[in-house]
Chains A and B, each alone.
Chain A
């Protein structure tokens, strides 16, 4: 951080001013002139919160994608299908048993198992052929999409929120002050906050696992140089299977999350594939902190964009990607 400020004082200043402005916008009571210019503070705060919680969901999807890419150089374009499959599995389990928590566990295991099978049966046969692997994932995405359309039809499914998470919660952010001088606080759905907290927890757990455990050390070494790692005698195939299972399982969990606070239907696979692509391009391929940063940026851009410039929301996301590619092609937090 200090090194970054030393090397890029201008950028650091701009970043500090932007963060300060954002904090002021979030915490201050807006003067009437500002409310007239850009609308109510409640709308703004809601967009910020939606953006950050959506970023949590994007992080869940993209972290698996970036992990698989970082270690195996496999651009898994079937990742969106894994997400959608997780959503359908979660829906089926939750409809059958009525348990929301159980649907997470089953979706993680089921989609992780699909990942293990893919790695063992398909990708191991064409190791080192990046392009061929990517083409195979495209073919798999088409096949999976059609199989899921066959089984589940074109309907929208929504996984019911458990009763203990239903309802809004009052947050200590003032949205407005009544004429009586009494402050009005922001009301926000409990479930989104809970899911965001869970994705932060998963992110921290992943970071700890990668940086503090032996397996994590092996994975990081593999990201840096796969061949040398294999030469040191590590069972690299076992590590590949493990990472693919974890990445796929995370996509499955994300599917349940997405099915709870949005809905699942054919086409969502493409949407989340695009989101993970943009998130990892912005954040940096193969970097977990990069995926977190990219996910929050893209989530915020999408939500703020859809509130303030509705017809060009997607362009904002895209422009961020263009800007990052132009200034820092390897992504914001990638080392190479």
Chain B
């Protein structure tokens, strides 16, 4: 698992504008896809789930933020809250160790219910956030996220207070235990691919183009007859569904959920992942998530090896984030693009760099 792994997906970014599916013509994208598919042959159980599975799940949640920030210009800090809400709903409606709370529905009923409720939750939050503009969005969504965290801590009837809900059941059908390492990896991979291509598709669909128009000049779009707020709320709904999918996978991954999983710093982690990866392209969040998970997993050992305090992981993350925000506002992808441009020295590659 060398570091070249991190840069491989970024080659996707050099492409002509608006082809139907640019990935189909890009050999590097096919290579990445192939590596991801045959990953179970290369990696053992720990790497498969703890590194790649977790990265993909966090990537899905960060992808929902990337969609809102990159195409809609709305930086929402509540995407993890929506994911956590979906996870809680899976635990509440499905089967778990807390029999007095969980309703014991089968997974095929509990999961859609959780997704629908998470989408509604996110859409309502979004409808609230679009009441004000620009920089206020961050404040309102952060307030929603923090309020949800404190609420789960206080509420025992549904969310079981600060202990949370444990031993959440995972789906088993067609004779397969979908939480055993290899099937679960493929499940995550399938959902991640689905979300990735859905975002790619929506970004090019009329709705996505209108949303980007709203991002660039909302007054002009309003003058052209577009309902600006409806587009924004719809973007929140779409992003909430993606975040909800990530949340369902996350609760299956850890088999438990507690207020710690929806804490404010977790919400901010998602922002860090998206920004470090780059919020201009859907592949960014996945790269950011991989970097984040690798750092989180190995920072302890590396720091101790260099004779430093191993507990300073968050300091490392924070400094890395600051460095990215200072020097490359479109994340690792931006760094890669600039490096490529310097290599080729072609003036033609002025791929539109956009800011969320």
Which A residues have a C-beta under 8 Å from some C-beta of B? 73, 75, 77, 130-132, 134-136, 138-143, 145-147, 150, 270, 273-274, 277-278, 280-281, 285, 310-315, 317-318, 321-322, 325-326, 329-330
Known A-B contacts A75-B138, A315-B151; the reply to A140 vs B132 at CB < 8 A is no
Known A-B contacts A277-B143, A278-B143, A317-B147; the reply to A142 vs B138 at CB < 8 A is no
Contact between chains at B322 and A140 (CB < 8 Å):
yes
Could you name 11 residue pairs across A and B whose Cβ atoms are closer than 8 Å?
A: A75-B138, A130-B134, A131-B355, A134-B75, A136-B325, A141-B318, A146-B318, A274-B143, A312-B155, A318-B151, A330-B132
B135-149 residues with Cβ-Cβ distance < 8 A to A are: 135-136, 138-140, 142-144, 146-147
Contact between chains at B318 and A139 (CB < 8 Å):
yes
Cβ distance A122 to chain B, nearest Cβ, rounded Å: 9
Q: List the A side residues contacting B311 at CB < 8 Å.
A: 150
Interface size on B, residues (CB 8 A): 42
Which of A136, A141, A270, A310 is the most central at the interface, judged by chain B CB atoms within 10 Å of its CB? A270
Q: Which of B131, B144, B315 contacts A147 (CB 8 A)?
A: B315
Q: List the B side residues contacting A146 at CB < 8 Å.
A: 312, 314-315, 318
Contact between chains at B151 and A314 (CB < 8 Å):
yes
Q: In this assembly, does B64 line the interface, its C-beta being within 8 Å of a C-beta of chain A?
A: no
How many residue pairs between the two chains, A and B, have CB atoms under 8 Å in the bound complex? 113
Q: List the A side residues contacting B154 at CB < 8 Å.
A: 310-314
Contact between chains at A326 and B139 (CB < 8 Å):
no
The interface stretch among B8-16, B263-271, B337-345 is B263-271
C-alpha gap A138/B139 in the complex (Å): 12
C-alpha gap A17/B107 in the complex (Å): 52
Contact between chains at B314 and A142 (CB < 8 Å):
yes
Q: Which of B265, B326, B356 contacts A142 (CB 8 A)?
A: B265
Cβ distance A128 to chain B, nearest Cβ, rounded Å: 12
18 further interface pairs, Cβ-Cβ under 8 Å (given A75-B139, A135-B271): A77-B142, A134-B135, A135-B275, A136-B326, A139-B318, A139-B319, A141-B318, A143-B318, A150-B315, A270-B146, A270-B264, A277-B139, A277-B146, A281-B143, A310-B154, A312-B151, A312-B155, A329-B131
Contact between chains at A314 and B139 (CB < 8 Å):
no
Cβ distance A326 to chain B, nearest Cβ, rounded Å: 7
Q: List the A side residues contacting B322 at CB < 8 Å.
A: 136, 139-140, 143
Q: List the A side residues contacting B156 at CB < 8 Å.
A: 311
Q: In this assembly, does B329 line the interface, its C-beta being within 8 Å of a C-beta of chain A?
A: yes
Known A-B contacts A136-B322, A138-B268, A142-B321; the reply to A150 vs B312 at CB < 8 A is yes
Q: Which of B138, B147, B272, B329 contacts A274 (CB 8 A)?
A: B147
C-alpha gap A145/B269 in the complex (Å): 14
B296-355 residues with Cβ-Cβ distance < 8 A to A are: 309, 311-312, 314-315, 317-319, 321-322, 325-326, 329, 355
Q: In this assembly, does B157 line the interface, its C-beta being within 8 Å of a C-beta of chain A?
A: yes
Known A-B contacts A73-B135, A132-B325, A146-B318; the reply to A325 vs B151 at CB < 8 A is no
Q: In this assembly, does B186 line the interface, its C-beta being within 8 Å of a C-beta of chain A?
A: no
Q: Which of A143, A278, A285, A321 contacts B315 (CB 8 A)?
A: A143
Which of A139, A310, A312, A330 is the most central at the interface, judged by chain B CB atoms within 10 Å of its CB? A139
Q: List the A side residues contacting B157 at CB < 8 Å.
A: 311
Which of A131, A134, A310 is the most central at the interface, judged by chain B CB atoms within 10 Å of its CB? A131
Q: In this assembly, does B150 line the interface, its C-beta being within 8 Å of a C-beta of chain A?
A: yes
Q: List the B side residues contacting A321 at CB < 8 Å.
A: 140, 143
Cβ distance B319 to chain A, nearest Cβ, rounded Å: 6
C-alpha gap A132/B272 in the complex (Å): 13
Q: List the B side residues contacting A131 at CB < 8 Å.
A: 75, 134-135, 138, 355-356
Contact between chains at B321 and A139 (CB < 8 Å):
yes
C-alpha gap A184/B309 in the complex (Å): 57
Cβ distance B245 to chain A, nearest Cβ, rounded Å: 25
Q: List the B side residues contacting A145 at CB < 8 Å.
A: 314
Q: Which of A138, A274, A312, A322 contacts B146 (CB 8 A)?
A: A274
Contact between chains at B147 and A139 (CB < 8 Å):
no
Which of B142, B143, B271, B317 is the most central at the interface, judged by chain A CB atoms within 10 Å of its CB? B143
Q: Which 9 A-B pairs have the closest CB atoms?
A: A142-B318, A139-B322, A143-B318, A146-B315, A274-B146, A318-B147, A329-B131, A314-B150, A139-B321
Q: List the A side residues contacting B140 at CB < 8 Å.
A: 281, 321, 325
Q: List the B side residues contacting A142 at CB < 8 Å.
A: 265, 268, 314-315, 317-318, 321
Q: List the B side residues contacting A280 at CB < 8 Å.
A: 139
Cβ distance B291 to chain A, nearest Cβ, rounded Å: 15
A313 to B, closest residue via Cβ: B154
Q: In this assembly, does B109 line the interface, its C-beta being within 8 Å of a C-beta of chain A?
A: no
C-alpha gap A146/B325 in the complex (Å): 19
Q: Which of B139, B314, B315, B325 contacts A135 (CB 8 A)?
A: B325
Q: In this assembly, does B36 line the interface, its C-beta being within 8 Å of a C-beta of chain A?
A: no
Q: In this assembly, does B128 line the interface, its C-beta being within 8 Å of a C-beta of chain A?
A: yes
B48-87 residues with Cβ-Cβ distance < 8 A to A are: 75
Contact between chains at A134 and B138 (CB < 8 Å):
yes
C-alpha gap A22/B75 in the complex (Å): 40
Which of A280, A311, A317 is the most central at the interface, judged by chain B CB atoms within 10 Å of its CB? A311
C-alpha gap A314/B161 in the complex (Å): 13
Contact between chains at A285 and B142 (CB < 8 Å):
no
C-alpha gap A139/B134 in the complex (Å): 19
Q: List the B side residues contacting A150 at CB < 8 Å.
A: 309, 311-312, 315
B326 to A, closest residue via Cβ: A136
Contact between chains at B315 and A325 (CB < 8 Å):
no
C-alpha gap A322/B143 in the complex (Å): 10
A145 to B, closest residue via Cβ: B314
C-alpha gap A141/B264 in the complex (Å): 12
